[in-house]
Amino acid sequence: MSNPPTRLLFVCMGNICRSPAAEGIMNHLLRQANLQEQYVCDSAGTIGYHRGSPPDERMQLAAKKRGILLTGRARQFERADFANFDLILTMDRQNYWDVLALDGQNQYGSKVKMMCEFCRTYPYKEVPDPYYGGAEGFELVLDLLTDACSGLLADLRQGKVG
């Protein structure tokens, strides 16, 4: 009998730029490695302002140029996500602390990680929010997330995390 898939949740503030991009990139890498049966990816935001919205059109366009499709609708992170996911990956420190603030019993802190912990090439500690910037911000986010997702997948496959 095979193990249940490892469940990954990517979290940013509004769930329309960074976290859906991370979800899309990770799914893309999983398909390339033929590992999509072993992992389930989702994304959420720490706020519900964009609830039900598709990913930001600028992020969709930038990702599509790289052959990555961004799907899904924005949703807000909820307490049940702690139990429903094996690993919760936040884009910046504020997202990290906002997620941990919902863990009233301090049970799930070991599941919550900063996405840039998995970067192999870029020295960034946080994935910057591209929402109010230009096209170059979306490209940088995609570069960072591709690096981080590749590192995350390598660590997952080696049993270093999860």
Closest residue by Cα to residue 161 from 39, 66, 44: 39
CA distance 153 to 162: 10
CB 63 within 8 A of CB 19: no
- Our answer to whether residue 143 is catalytic in this structure is no
**Active-site pick, 42, 81, 92, 129:** 129
For the chain, give percent helix, strand, coil, nearest 5: 40, 15, 45
**Active-site pick, 12, 116, 119, 149:** 12
155 CB-near residues (< 8 Å, 6+ apart)? 118, 161, 162
**Active-site pick, 17, 18, 81, 149:** 18
105 CB-near residues (< 8 Å, 6+ apart)? none
Buried b or exposed e, range 42-52, using 16+ CB within 10 angstroms: bbbbbeeebee
Residues belonging to the chain: 162
CA distance 136 to 13: 20
- Our answer to whether residue 12 is catalytic in this structure is yes
- Our answer to whether residue 129 is catalytic in this structure is yes
Q: Give the catalytic positions in this structure.
A: 12, 18, 129
